[in-house]
Structure 1
């Protein structure tokens, strides 16, 4: 009898969570559609701090103008951002000096910071020029997912890399992701294919995503973390597996590279604004049949993480919304 009651209680809890998620998805989708219909956004603009002139933002549907775009979301990163930008721009400048065909841009998305992040970011625009370093100001805090989405939608690269402002992953590791994307694209490319668009090979036209991964460091992490953090991590991995399915062991590493074609498909559909947008990327990649590569990268834990135990309920709620939204087809996917 006790087992039966426990089972019934579990089923009742599951049903309640599903119903709450279902109602929430309907309400949020209705709000999103009403908001989109009621407000036509003005064209996004960059500001040139030297001339104080407005520079029109490109759109992800436009042809690529640069080879590589690096998108850095930043929320209250006044102190950690300079080290990351110095390392990143030194690498990019050196590579551009050695390869005249290499072009780049760094897009910093200030997600409503309350400290001096905006000032720091514009200092680098002044130093390197608005063609190479650009800043998007979101005004208020929306979440990492929304900051990355905005940066991706207004970037000019054939390849687009998202990386965290704390510099936890070495920027030179982007070459690992880049190399594997080129290898897969070369195999899939055949002159005249609609996927390529034209007889000349262009990496931007073939949808591929490369996930930087810390999965190879998991054994060491398990040995050094406290038991409850390992428990939460394992539990989160299980929920991610149920929500998005297998394929990527480390969905949460903030170091991912997209071809322009892949970014166009994914970031015009992304709805989750905070921590679990990475899981939504995996789900959408499977939906579109976009090849996903998982590549080990060097990673070190940097003090000042924004993730805390209070983030866990929000993550689980986002995963529940995603699962209900897509599986009930309330969340439409635009091709």
Structure 2
């Protein structure tokens, strides 16, 4: 709306200037020199106004074309079936990728997007797999898989990941290679769409959040599933599987905000507050910390969300919140333990990219250019 307002104001100013030029040109009272100076000044102002209008219109055309292309690409991705495989380094065979539309084969899938994480990934993976193995030994119904999505890394991330596949077997650890860098959002999306779990957990490759905290999110999912089941209690729904409920639970660092404000530089706090305000205006209230990389979804919720999501980089988390609201998927926020790990890939340019993506969400969905499929 602000864009159209600026264009209308520029057109009005241009019209007024043209009227003034006409009046001065036909005025007989003003001397010739004064008329010439005034006409020249008004003509210069008119040219500047027209250039501004042209620039604004060009920027708007580029922006809307970019949104349209994202929508077209998403439609193509939804209808195209790709022959994707996991590589098994032990047998050298190719294992077909499952689909989110297939029935669940595991209790939980852990999706780890990784881009140039050869140094941070080994420790995080070791801790994660040790926990999963211990819990699987204690609970026979607890079956798991870890899916590492290499987002076009230029270092030895894939080599490190395949070492874990050799050690833990491809039924438990899998590596999906994207070939080139798409962005964290796309890496998570691909992992979700090719997972086998009833529950699907995304977590960062740096191990900033303790994997044991998945039990907090898991408990919240189960509580919401029971609440949903009781509110629509029928003989048919009483036997509903956990994977059939539509639930999203977001790990949160909001409880650590005061500590972060005390230790960060003032400009970083200013940027953080500004970003949170824009997120609030884009996705609305409900989730305080949208950017924590620790989120759990039931299979049914992931199926709806990750076949709709369009953003491929920074703000796909905000888009998930937006989609949850519009698809009426229950959400909850759970506090998790979080430690800042050196090696963050967030830069000042990343902030600008985030703001741009938030604008894409607002305009793309707000004007109905992006459709939401249920």
- Return the TM-score normalized by structure 2: 0.82
Q: 2:155 aligns to what SS in structure 1?
A: coil
Contact 2:150-2:177 at 8 Å conserved across structures: yes
Q: 2:348 aligns to what SS in structure 1?
A: coil
Distance 1:156 1:220, change over 3 A: same
- CA deviations 1:126-174 (Å, max 9, x no partner) are 0000000000000000000000000000000000000000000000000
Contact 1:191-1:199 at 8 Å conserved across structures: no
In structure 1, the residue matched to 2:68 is 26
Residue 200 (structure 1) aligned with residue 239 (structure 2): yes
Contact 1:71-1:163 at 8 Å conserved across structures: yes
Contact 2:252-2:336 at 8 Å conserved across structures: yes
Alignment match of 1:180 (pick from 220, 231, 235): 220
Distance 1:66 1:36, change over 3 A: closer
Higher Cα radius of gyration: 2
In structure 1, the residue matched to 2:149 is 109
Distance 1:8 1:41, change over 3 A: closer
Alignment match of 1:45 (pick from 55, 75, 85): 85
Gaps in structure 2 of 5+ consecutive residues:
11-51
How many residue pairs are counted as aligned between the two chains? Answer: 324
Contact 1:208-1:292 at 8 Å conserved across structures: yes
- CA deviations 1:35-91 (Å, max 9, x no partner) are 659x94532111111111111111001111000100000000001000000000000
Contact 1:212-1:255 at 8 Å conserved across structures: yes
What is the deviation of 1:21? 3.5
Contact 1:21-1:324 at 8 Å conserved across structures: no
Distance 1:209 1:55, change over 3 A: same
In structure 2, the residue matched to 1:255 is 294
Q: 1:189 aligns to what SS in structure 2?
A: helix
Residue 230 (structure 1) aligned with residue 269 (structure 2): yes
Contact 2:229-2:237 at 8 Å conserved across structures: no
Alignment match of 1:60 (pick from 100, 104, 110): 100
What is the deviation of 1:23? 3.6
Gaps in structure 1 of 5+ consecutive residues:
1-6
Q: Relative CO higher for 1 or 2, CA cutoff 8 Å, sep ≥ 6?
A: 1
In structure 2, the residue matched to 1:303 is 342
- Return the TM-score normalized by structure 1: 0.91
Q: Distance in 2 between matches of 1:313 and 1:175?
A: 35
- Which aligned pairs between 1:1-335 and structure 2 lie closer than 5 A? 21-30=63-72, 33=75, 36=77, 40-190=80-230, 199-335=238-374
Q: Distance in 2 between matches of 1:197 and 1:160?
A: 25
Contact 2:229-2:238 at 8 Å conserved across structures: no
Q: Which has the higher helix share?
A: 2
In structure 2, the residue matched to 1:4 is none
Contact 1:163-1:254 at 8 Å conserved across structures: yes
Distance 1:185 1:124, change over 3 A: same
Contact 2:74-2:310 at 8 Å conserved across structures: no
Over aligned residues, Cα RMSD in angstroms?
2.3
